[in-house]
Chain A
Amino acid sequence: MFDNPIETISFFDSMIGLLRKECKHGWTINTDLTQIENVTTDSIMYLIALMRNIRVLCGGVLFRGNYPKDPKMKSLFGKVGFYRYIRSSVSDFQPDSRFIQIKSGESVNLKEASKICDFAKSAGIIDVKCKKIYTILAELMQNTCNYAYTKEDVFEHNWYVYAEDSGDTVKFVFLDTGNGIPTTVRKNFIEILSRMIFPINEDSKLILSALEGAFRTQTKEEHRGKGLPQIYDYYKIGFIENLKIISGKGYCVFNENTYAKNRIFDLSSEFQGSLFSWDVRKERVSKCV
């Protein structure tokens, strides 16, 4: 998703559009995965979320699926737990200790967050950093439940999370398919936006402003809205690396602690929801000679 956002989001957009238009109650939808040669876990996660949402939207829809011919891709779909979400003849894959299968929930579930922290700890992340991971997951779950959806939404109010031991780092991905940060900011902070000398129009800049805490000090409830700035602080002080966010049309990738190296721009297509990804580096423990 982050490497090839335009093509990936366009594909999912067309899928959502087609299913919204054509999908009927009682349909069985076959997801043909045989030709997939390259996919990242965030896209699998998004596919799962969309399938669940289509089920809710159309009612009584059954998803079936096969698996990619490519052995690596087949293995990836199994390891991240894709086949738990669809009706499939594909037998369960053996659990891989380097992966946490995609988890989902509809309310703040800190027990689940603690299990992910346990996984990170077992992968070699030191305790102090695990606490930051817990904080991040708590903030994102909270945002999903408080801001990401509205009562009018027909989609399920779910979050999805995934973690993977990638060697030197542990990688985390968090997704919700709600309204997205830019829409939420526009809706809740219209007064602040209208007072700006140079109003922010771009989704990516709205995300950046939310991360920098622009919308926390001027609200009626100024004790709130500290979650995203906390996550950004962890990035700035180096507790997390490669912080990446797609929300609405906004695309933000923070690779370095300098603005010049960051990539912050608007996409041509809109992502339905918010996707976060970040890495936590394992400590190198020096060996006694």
Chain B
Amino acid sequence: MCIKLNIAEEFTTTPGIRYRKDSDYSGEEFREVLLYPAYLRAIRENKRLYIDIDGGYGYATSFLEEAFGGLVRVEGVDANKLLSILEIKSEDEQEWIEKIKGYIKDANKKKR
């Protein structure tokens, strides 16, 4: 059982950059409106968090860093817990999967 989130279907096909002040559909907005609530729900219901990042035009690095790294850095989420329940799906751009995990780990290192 898992909580599913599809960025292209539920947020936008044209993701922006890091902050709300700089673009529409920013990583910050995605994290605050969809990702963090989905994470909290997954924890509450003891489910995995499944994020589908395919289907849109693509991503800026800052969008993904702010969304996923920001969970740890801004929202104070436990990085190990997040990594243990998080599943990223991407057939189009598989390299983002490892990069997203790297953003989470980097954010955790900086938090310490």
Chain A residues at the B interface, C-beta cutoff of 8 Å: 107-108, 110-111, 113-114, 117, 127-128, 130-135, 138-139, 141-142, 145-146, 222-224, 226-227, 230
Instruction: Check B25–A227 contact: CB distance below 8 A.
Output: no
Most buried by A among B14, B73, B110: B14
CB pair A131 B93 closer than 8 Å: yes
Within 8 A of A (CB), among B77-104: 92-93, 103
Cβ of B62 and Cβ of A117 under 8 Å apart?
A: no
**B58 with A134: CB separation less than 8 A:** yes
Q: Please, which residues of chain A bring their CB within 8 A of the CB of B69? A: 223
**Interface membership of B9, Cβ < 8 A:** no
Please state if B60 and A139 are interface contacts (CB–CB under 8 Å): yes
Are A223 and B73 in touch, CB under 8 angstroms? yes
Q: Which of B24, B93, B107 contacts A223 (CB 8 A)?
A: B107
Q: Please name 7 further chain A to chain B contacts, defined as beta carbons within 8 Å, in addition to the given A117-B57, A138-B59, A139-B60, sorted by A numbering.
A: A117-B58, A128-B92, A130-B58, A141-B17, A142-B23, A226-B65, A227-B60
Residue B13, interface by CB 8 Å: yes
Question: How distant is B44 from chain A, measured CB to nearest CB, in Å?
Answer: 28
Between A and B, 5 residue pairs with Cβ closer than 8 Å are A113-B57, A142-B23, A222-B106, A223-B65, A226-B65
Flag if A142 contacts B60 (CB, 8 Å). Answer: yes
What count of chain B residues pass the 8 Å CB interface test? 27
Q: Would A134 and B22 be within 8 Å (CB), given that A114-B13, A127-B92, A128-B92 are in contact?
A: no
Within 8 A of A (CB), among B23-48: 23-25
* Chain A interface SS verdict (over half): helix
Assembly CA distance A128 to B59 (angstroms): 12
Nearest opposing residue in chain B for A142, CB measure = B17
Residues of A within 8 A of B92 (CB): 127-128, 131
* Listed residue (A130, A133, A134, A222) with the most chain B CB atoms within 10 angstroms of its CB: A134
CA distance A127 to B92 in the complex (A): 8
Of A107, A110, A131, A134, the most chain B CB neighbours within 10 A belong to: A110
The total number of A-B Cβ pairs within 8 Å is 78
CA distance A20 to B22 in the complex (A): 31
Q: Which of A111, A130, A135 has most chain B Cβ within 10 Å?
A: A135
Whether A131 contacts B58 by the Cβ 8 Å rule is yes
Closest to B58 in A: A134
Distance in angstroms between the alpha carbons of A113 and B56 in the assembled complex:
12
| Chain A residue at smallest Cβ distance from B60 | A138
Distance (Å) between the CB of A113 and the closest chain B CB? 7
Q: Do B14 and A139 touch (CB < 8 A)?
A: no
Q: Are A135 and B58 in contact (CB under 8 A)?
A: yes
A100 to chain B, nearest CB (A): 15
A134 to B92 alpha-carbon distance, docked (Å): 13
Cα(A132)–Cα(B61), bound, Å: 11
Given contacts A146-B22, A223-B106, whether A113 and B14 have CB atoms under 8 Å apart is: yes
Q: Known: A114-B13, A138-B60, A223-B110. Is A107-B65 also a contact (CB below 8 A)?
A: no
- How far is A10 from B53 in the complex, measured between Cα atoms in Å? 46
Per the bound structure, the CA–CA distance linking A110 and B93 in Å amounts to: 19
Q: How far is the CB of A103 from chain B (nearest CB, A)?
A: 15
